Every structure is written in C-alpha cells, then in structure tokens.
Amino acid sequence: MLRGSLAIWQRDMLILRRSIVSELMAVVAYPLTIYLAFGIGMQGYIGLVDGAPYSLFIAPGLITMTAVNAAYNESVWSLWFHRRVQFTIESYRVTPISVSEIVIAKIFTGFTHGIIKGCAVGLVLFAITPFRFPIEHLLQYLLFLIPGSALFSCAGIISGTIMDKPETIGKVEAVLVMPLIFMSGLFFPLSSYPSAVIPWVRALPTTALFEGARRALVAGEMMSMSVLQVSLSALITFVAAVVIFRYKMSE
C-alpha cells in the first residue's frame, strides 16, 4: 500500500542528497552560533544551571531544536511549494496512489530531515566544542528525538496544508512555533517560571520533549511519562495531518 509513499520519499531523499552540503551548512550555522554566543560567551556570567555549566545545559536543547525545526520547516515549506507553486502534489494525485500515501511520504521526508540535521548538529558540537555525553545515553535520547521530529513534521504538514500564503506560514512560525520551542526549557530550567505557570508549561508536549531529551542525554535519565506524552502527541498530530490533508484534497 505504501509503494507510492516510498517512491515520493525516495524522490525527496534524492533531492536532499544533491544539496546535502549546503543544507547542512545552513542548518548547523544557527545552533552553533547560539552555542558559541550563549554557551561560551555568557557562560562566565551565568555559572551553573541545574548543576551543569550553561553550555552543557543548552547543548542537548540545541540539537533537539535543530531536529524539530528542520522537520517542521521541511514539511511546511515542501508541502506548500509542491501544492501551491510546483503543483507536484496534483501530478501525484492523478496516479493510482492514494492521498494518504502522499501525505505519509511527506511526513516521513520532514521526519528524515529532522533526524539527519539533528545528528549533524550533534556531531559538530561533539567535534568542535567541549560538549560531551556518555554514548550509552544516546538510545534514551533517541526515544525523544524520534517522536519529537515526527510531531513537528506532522505539525508542519498541517500548516503547509491549511495555509495558502507564504507570509502566513512565516507568521505562524514566528508567533507559535519558535515561542513554543524557546519557552520549553531550552535556554533556562523550568523552575525559573512563576510557580503558577509551571503546570501549564509542563502540559506542553514541547516541554516534555526538551526537558526529557536533555535529561536523557546528559544524565541518562529515563522520563517515561514524557516519552509517552511526546509519542502520543506525535500520534495524534499524525492522524490529524492525514485527515486534514485528505479533507483539503477533497475540496
């Protein structure tokens, strides 16, 4: 049944392979800059956060942020472009594959971008900064990174499906996606929030993702409730993405 998905996903991977160097350079530059500016530059002023040097505190978040951002961006822009600019989606739709196969392919493409780019940033941080983590923590970390990238890829698909104008996509990213990422304990511990707000912030899947991913990578801690929360959110968003895309295509 997923033969069509595979063909489209492979097409997307071919395009990614062709531009991998420039894609990775672009995607690594941003988190690396943040790492150097805040992690190194501000380290002396900030001291220890949650018992760790600031650079160590933010590094896992930067990797996670890169992955989910890449997944979201790839999905939203690719879907918009192929739907509204290049009409490729339409050329897929006149073949015997189903609409679900198309959207599943696109979700996997966004997801793959997220994982590849997240890993690339991790490797670069590992190679050129003092940031280290025990390698056996990687497995726990992936338990967050995988559903996290899937969640953001699906969210990107939903945005790219319902938004027809590129400027709307840009606005949603600025108003919703970036704040969600930044406020989820990426740059500061959740304990910095006023206590009345903390339960609300905790309820966000992004908080479970960033918080859980950091603890998994740095301390090898396994927060199974957080894994469950992120995975469940990813699943719900996946179903929503497929349903919304199918609905849009039947209009």
Partner 1 sequence: MGCSDMPVPSIIINSLTKSYGGLTALDSFSLEVEQGAIFGLLGPNGAGKTTLIRILTTLMRQSAGDASIEGLDILRSGRDIRRMIGVVSQENSLDRYLTARENLELHARLHGMEKQLYKSRIDNLLELMGLAGRQLDFPDTFSGGMQRRLVIARALVHQPQVLFLDEPTTGLDPQSRRAVWEYVRSLAGSMTIFLTTHYLEEAEQLCDRIAIMDHGRLIALGSTQELKERLSGATVYEIEFSGQDIDRYVVLLGSMPCVIDIKQAGSKVTLTLECWECLSEIVTSLNGAPVRRISLLERTLEDVFISLTGEKVRE
**Contact residues for partner 1, defined by CB under 8 A:** 3-4, 7-8, 11, 14-15, 18, 86-88, 90-98, 250-251
**Beta-carbon-side half-sphere exposure of residue 139 (alpha carbons within 13 Å):** 2
The residue type found at 90 is: E
Q: Among residues 33 and 91, whose Cβ is nearest to partner 1?
A: 91
Smallest separation, CB 249 to partner 1 (Å) = 8
Q: Among residues 7 and 142, whose Cβ is nearest to partner 1?
A: 7
Q: What is the DSSP string of 79-105?
A: HHIIIIIS-HHHHHHTSSS-HHHHHHH
Smallest separation, CB 7 to partner 1 (Å) = 4
Smallest separation, CB 86 to partner 1 (Å) = 7
Sort residue 132 into left (φ over 0), alpha (ψ -120 to 50) or beta: beta
Structure tokens at 193: 């929030």
Q: Among residues 93 and 165, whose Cβ is nearest to partner 1?
A: 93
Closest CA to 213 of 66, 111, 108, 106: 66
Could you tell me if 162 and 241 are in contact, meaning their C-beta atoms sit under 8 angstroms apart? no
Smallest separation, CB 19 to partner 1 (Å) = 9
Q: Among residues 22 and 195, whose Cβ is nearest to partner 1?
A: 22
